[in-house]
Structure 1
């Protein structure tokens, strides 16, 4: 029986998202500290929902690359929000599938909700929004070479 790599996503006390990848006894873990990044995005008038999803993708990519250097990462997840992502104050993420160079990851705790990520006006009216992201993130050759060297 083959052992599948595992990707574990955890919301830690509404203040951080932990991303951990494990293969056999090898693991890598990174956290997204929400207070820090939200403060930065608010101060620079950036859409927090969109910026969070970009950061989430890159943290998954980096975490998996540390245990399994790969060229292509396939990510698929659903996102639901209370408004279009530019204006959303609540987002729900449901990770559906992750694979690195064709090797699928078992996903644990792949669903979480972030609320209060954007201040809303008193007259804000919620409009349900949902979309599915299904795409490939490629690792540049020079970075892939560094990850492979780290594994040796």
Structure 2
């Protein structure tokens, strides 16, 4: 009988500690205007996944969904878009931002259901953690020729 009670206790602990965790969302939005495709290339750690390059059309967005309940999930991304051709310079130019830490789950905080939104505009990169709050300017583009 004692073994049965211990067995029930262990099963209860296992089911209680594995409650569902809401998915976190990492959003990239393109507000660069007509004919400007935003290119996003992300790498996540814990788990380690290379997501390849995603091309986001003007006025569109892309969402990464993931659960980071036990690991400390981190996403690093490179963002860039091509600038219009300059008649005085035949080399292609682009605005870019490299190694953007787009998402990092906290160590002590609740890792479930977190939200991060990054928005690309000509004036820079904007960010918010809450979809109900306005975006704020946080980073500037670097021009590469």
TM exceeds 0.5?
A: no
Q: Which has the higher helix share?
A: 1
TM-score normalised over the length of structure 2: 0.31
TM-score normalised over the length of structure 1: 0.30
Kindly name which structure, 1 or 2, has the bigger radius of gyration based on alpha carbons. Answer: 2
Q: Which has the higher strand share?
A: 2
